């Protein structure tokens, strides 16, 4: 526990990078499910995944000290938000 407290900035940086990579994985996996015609589309589940990815990007933007990581999270969050709005619009708005 003491080691974690002394290395909290490194652990935080690793955690934020893991959040960014998880958000990227959610974006790729969910977008590939959108274009896969063999699987029926669950709109609610897909919108939830986009919202979780957007929340992870928000956390990275707010808590990251690295400017490049913040810009990458803003770009990825824009992708999440755009695809989520597109899916919501195509599905009838709710």
Structure tokens of 8?
A: 């909290």
Quote the DSSP letter at residue 7: T
Taking residues 79-85, report their average pLDDT. Answer: 91
Which residue did the predictor score with more confidence, 35 or 3? 35
pLDDT for 3 beyond 70: no
pLDDT of residue 72: 95
pLDDT in tens, 36-74: 878 777 888 888 999 999 999 999 999 998 999 999 999
pLDDT in tens, 7-34: 678 888 999 999 999 999 999 998 888 8
- Give yes or no for a contact between 15 and 56, defined as CB atoms under 8 angstroms apart: no
């Amino acid at each position: 526990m003491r080691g974690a407290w002394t290395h909290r900035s490194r652990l935080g940086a690793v955690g934020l990078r893991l959040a960014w990579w998880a958000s990227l994985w959610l974006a790729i996996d969910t977008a590939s499910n959108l274009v896969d015609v063999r699987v029926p589309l669950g709109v609610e589940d897909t919108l939830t995944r986009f919202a979780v990815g957007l929340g992870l990007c928000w956390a990275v933007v707010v808590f990251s000290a690295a400017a490049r990581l913040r810009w990458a999270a803003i770009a990825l969050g824009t992708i999440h938000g755009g695809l989520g709005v597109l899916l919501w619009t195509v599905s009838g708005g709710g």
